[in-house]
A and B are shown apart, each in its own frame.
Chain A
Amino acid sequence: MALSGVEIFKLLPKTNCKKCGHPTCLAFAMKLAQRQVSLDLCPDVSEEAKQKLGEASAPPIRPVSIGSGDRLIKMGEETVLFRHEKKFINPCAFAVEIKDTQSHEEIESITQEVIDSEIERVGQRLRIDAIFVSNASGDGAKLQEAVNIVLKKAPQVPLIIHTEDPTSAEGAAKIAKDNRPLLFGANEANAEAMAKVAKDLKIPLGVNAKGLEALSALTDKIKSLGVEDMVIDSGARTAKEILADNTCIRRAAIKKGIKALGYPIITFAQRSDAMLETMIASLGVAKYSSIVVLSSVQKWKSLVLFTLRQNIYTDPQVPMQVEQKIYKVGEPGQDAPLMITTNFSLTYFIVTGEIENSKVPARLAVMDSEGLSVLTAWAAGKFTASKIAAFIQESGIENEISNKELIIPGYVAILSGAIEDKLPGWKITVGPREANAIPTFLKTR
């Protein structure tokens, strides 16, 4: 369990030497308690204190990563059960399953779909993160062959290799080891041999046991065999089991400090019904899975899941923002209306959605207001006449349009005179207060 600042203070040298950069040992202890600094900064700390603090300061859910480079998948490190308390940290990864019984062409084509899955949404690049290669054939050679096909086509995509046979595991994991794959398939029967493969190749190990009691006993055992990076599977497959087990695992790790369950969770969502699979995957996203395995890549399904993941993992304290620029809605001609709003992503989405509903092509100037909505930005002095005027002038939009008219949100009607003063030659029109009145407003102009 995490120690309080005072408990940590008791373990420090209490010399107030300032070598750590803090005025007192107590100040340093407080920072340690908040996990804002590392204990390494203290040159005089005792070995005993180091060990105690090391255990206590380890995050309740162990950080584990797979893959490398810009496709590295970070998991774990979560600190809360509910997203309003604090941001969920490492967004759940989506993996698609490839079976080694599939043909060469099928494996290549799924791999290509994974490569092509990347889309951009609100400034973030989202994609299917990993490929889960399963040893459906039971033949070690077939597994290696499948891993080879994937590696050749997509050497950068992180792999999860699934087999319960230690010899096959070693063969397949060895060829992928440079990209730090996850080896999945350790259980009560093969724990020693699988742990040895993972330990020798220095890769994380996916561990499966039925139920949380057996699972925690198994992770303890594997840890004692020298493997620390694990991803866990409690055998939950139905929605009910996934919700119950994931919740209890998260609680056990965070609220009870049970280290044996403090590992990222892998969830299997594969279903023959793609719509239901999307729901099970959504459950994984909302309720604590770190990896969700899917049966196929389908663009619509990816968009649904990427969006949900982005929403759930948004920092509740920081509003989402879109880039400052002049967006085109439809295909606006020179005389199309020009509207302005702020760059809070919800504001942007709702306003563009309503302009689209109006079927009137228009330009929407989205001004950087640090992600605040119109009224809040105005109140905070981030959506003022001079800032609006400067943005419109610098955008160079006046060269692209025939009549210099700017439509401002009804909530900032008060600014219209001041903007007209600062933008000579422009007509400022006050638009509706609420976005849902935009269609009527645009259609009746």
Chain B
Amino acid sequence: MAFALPTETYAGKVYEVTIGTDKTATFGGENVLPFHNFEGTIPHKPLIAYEIQDVPPEDWPETLRKVYEGKSADPVTWAKHCQDDLKAEAIALRLIGTHPDRENRSAEEAAKTVSDVLAAINVPLIILGSNNPDKDSQVLVAASEAAKGRNCIIGKAQESNHKTIVAAAMANNHKLVAMSELDINLSKQLNILITQMGFDKERIITDPMCSALGYGIEYSYSVMERIRLAALTQNDVIMQPPMMGDIGFYVWKVKEAQASESDLPQWGNLEQRAIGWEAATAAALLLSGAELLIMRHPEAVKTINSFIEELI
């Protein structure tokens, strides 16, 4: 009996998203499950953005902080370092300093940071708030205006604050991250709410919420797989935006990325463990459907780039 490879074809397709204006980056566009090139087309590789923030990374663990030592005191220097030295294809600026429990920087200060960073780089910029829904709805509006015309990604819009952020992204012609908490139905509902405001669904990036390896990654993994299956097999158009994994933010606060080898000898070398933690979290989410990754450690990025090269 002749053997027939059990390939499958899918009814749907992930939207292709292009960001930036000078140097652009494009991700999504595939009509198959992640890396299933044997049964469909994958026009673009996943995109990795280097994460920087508006305040010096004093809250980042030593292993990570030292990599950016001397280059992270201000966001402009930091962004240029990522673009020029680390060859970042995109940069994600997190406005963490605007959080009321942190430096509580104003929306105007945040907007200035965005303008300064944009003036210094030509790769695409992803602008992320501090995940404080109230503050984000002020900060991201100001940041959106400051970035007008640069075709950025603005995020994250959550159910509680999506109206102002969606309006700002729409008015200033940006893409938008829609974040819900680990539930396919909530994710779908948020995408519907956003499109009902007149925002084009092909400009959304879905963030079903990342979790770190060992800290609930199986939830993120399965929600992403289910969203992707709905997009491809059921051709559910509202589930077809590409997905984002906000990797570094969730990985670098877990114990495994911070505890020293002298405290926990059975866990082995801290630096490799922490880099491995970020890379393995990223790899798992790539395999479940993420096309856009926000990452921090250059070695983890390098590893994931090699992994992607082998998969494509």
Q: Are B268 and A84 in contact (CB under 8 A)?
A: no
CB-CB < 8 A to A256: which residues of B? 6
Per the bound structure, the CA–CA distance linking A13 and B279 in Å amounts to 57
**A230-258 Cβ-contact flags toward B at 8 Å (1 or 0):** 00000000111001100110011001101
Among A119, A251, A279, A350, point to the contact of B6 (Cβ < 8 A): A251
CB-CB < 8 A to B36: which residues of A? 243-244, 247
CB-CB < 8 A to B6: which residues of A? 248, 251-252, 255-256, 258
CB-CB < 8 A to B310: which residues of A? 238-240, 280
Cβ < 8 Å to A, chain B residues 1-48: 2-3, 5-8, 35-38
Q: Are B269 and A300 in contact (CB under 8 A)?
A: yes
Q: Are B214 and A301 in contact (CB under 8 A)?
A: no
Q: Are A274 and B272 in contact (CB under 8 A)?
A: yes
Query: DSSP class of A's interface residues: helix, strand, loop or mixed?
Result: helix
B216 beta carbon closer than 8 Å to chain A:
yes
Cβ < 8 Å to A, chain B residues 283-312: 283-284, 287-288, 299, 303-304, 306-307, 310-312
B30 to chain A, nearest CB (A): 14
B253 beta carbon closer than 8 Å to chain A:
yes
B285 to chain A, nearest CB (A): 10
**B234-256 Cβ-contact flags toward A at 8 Å (1 or 0):** 00000000000000000001111
CB-CB < 8 A to B276: which residues of A? 275, 278, 300-301, 304
CB-CB < 8 A to A316: which residues of B? 218, 222
CB-CB < 8 A to B265: which residues of A? 299
A352 to chain B, nearest CB (A): 8
Q: Are B218 and A312 in contact (CB under 8 A)?
A: yes
Q: Are B222 and A83 in contact (CB under 8 A)?
A: yes
Per the bound structure, the CA–CA distance linking A243 and B3 in Å amounts to 19
CB-CB < 8 A to A350: which residues of B? 215
Q: Are A243 and B35 in contact (CB under 8 A)?
A: yes
Per the bound structure, the CA–CA distance linking A338 and B30 in Å amounts to 51
B199 beta carbon closer than 8 Å to chain A:
no
Given A243-B35, A440-B101, A275 contacting B218 (CB threshold 8 A): no
CB-CB < 8 A to B270: which residues of A? 300
Among B3, B218, B284, point to the contact of A282 (Cβ < 8 A): B284
CB-CB < 8 A to A310: which residues of B? 214
Query: DSSP class of B's interface residues: helix, strand, loop or mixed?
Result: helix
Per the bound structure, the CA–CA distance linking A346 and B209 in Å amounts to 14
Among B2, B213, B287, point to the contact of A283 (Cβ < 8 A): B287
Cβ < 8 Å to A, chain B residues 212-236: 213-218, 221-222, 225-226, 229
Cβ < 8 Å to B, chain A residues 291-346: 298-305, 307-308, 310-312, 314, 316, 346
Given A243-B311, A275-B276, A283-B287, A303 contacting B256 (CB threshold 8 A): yes
Q: How large is the interface on B (under 10, 10 to 19, 20 to 34, 35 or more residues)?
A: 35 or more
A102 beta carbon closer than 8 Å to chain B:
no
B277 beta carbon closer than 8 Å to chain A:
yes
Question: Size of chain A's interface in residues, with CB distance under 8 A?
Answer: 56
Q: Are A248 and B7 in contact (CB under 8 A)?
A: yes
B60 beta carbon closer than 8 Å to chain A:
no
A356 beta carbon closer than 8 Å to chain B:
yes
Q: Are A83 and B218 in contact (CB under 8 A)?
A: yes
B99 to chain A, nearest CB (A): 10
Among B37, B218, B299, point to the contact of A311 (Cβ < 8 A): B218
Q: Are A346 and B279 in contact (CB under 8 A)?
A: no
Q: Are A84 and B283 in contact (CB under 8 A)?
A: no
CB-CB < 8 A to B38: which residues of A? 244, 248
B262 beta carbon closer than 8 Å to chain A:
no
CB-CB < 8 A to B5: which residues of A? 212, 248
Per the bound structure, the CA–CA distance linking A84 and B306 in Å amounts to 29
Per the bound structure, the CA–CA distance linking A357 and B61 in Å amounts to 10
Per the bound structure, the CA–CA distance linking A298 and B307 in Å amounts to 20
Per the bound structure, the CA–CA distance linking A274 and B287 in Å amounts to 20
Of all chain A residues, the one with the shortest Cβ separation from B33 is A247
A286 beta carbon closer than 8 Å to chain B:
yes
Per the bound structure, the CA–CA distance linking A238 and B37 in Å amounts to 14
Q: Are A303 and B268 in contact (CB under 8 A)?
A: yes
CB-CB < 8 A to A243: which residues of B? 35-36, 287, 311
Per the bound structure, the CA–CA distance linking A258 and B214 in Å amounts to 35
A109 to chain B, nearest CB (A): 16
Q: Are B275 and A275 in contact (CB under 8 A)?
A: yes
Of all chain B residues, the one with the shortest Cβ separation from A315 is B218
A6 beta carbon closer than 8 Å to chain B:
no
CB-CB < 8 A to A119: which residues of B? 266-267
A273 beta carbon closer than 8 Å to chain B:
yes
A133 to chain B, nearest CB (A): 24
Given A84-B222, A278-B276, A303-B273, A239 contacting B311 (CB threshold 8 A): yes
Q: Are A240 and B218 in contact (CB under 8 A)?
A: no
CB-CB < 8 A to A287: which residues of B? 287
CB-CB < 8 A to A244: which residues of B? 36-38
Q: Are B35 and A304 in contact (CB under 8 A)?
A: no
Per the bound structure, the CA–CA distance linking A213 and B311 in Å amounts to 22
A171 to chain B, nearest CB (A): 35
Of all chain B residues, the one with the shortest Cβ separation from A83 is B222
CB-CB < 8 A to A357: which residues of B? 253
CB-CB < 8 A to A411: which residues of B? none
Q: Are A304 and B311 in contact (CB under 8 A)?
A: no
Of all chain A residues, the one with the shortest Cβ separation from B272 is A300
CB-CB < 8 A to A247: which residues of B? 36
Per the bound structure, the CA–CA distance linking A205 and B265 in Å amounts to 37
Cβ < 8 Å to B, chain A residues 422-445: 437, 440
**A391-405 Cβ-contact flags toward B at 8 Å (1 or 0):** 000000000000000
List 8 additional contacts besides A82-B229, A280-B307, A299-B265; criterion CB under 8 Å.
A240-B310, A240-B311, A243-B287, A244-B38, A302-B268, A311-B221, A352-B255, A437-B101
Listed in ascending order, the chain A residues whose CB lies under 8 Å from chain B are 82-84, 119, 121, 212-213, 216-217, 238-240, 243-244, 247-248, 251-252, 255-256, 258, 273-276, 278-280, 282-283, 286-287, 298-305, 307-308, 310-312, 314, 316, 346, 349-350, 352-353, 356-357, 437, 440
Can you name 8 A-B pairs with beta carbons within 8 Å? A279-B307, A298-B269, A299-B269, A301-B276, A304-B213, A307-B214, A312-B284, A349-B214
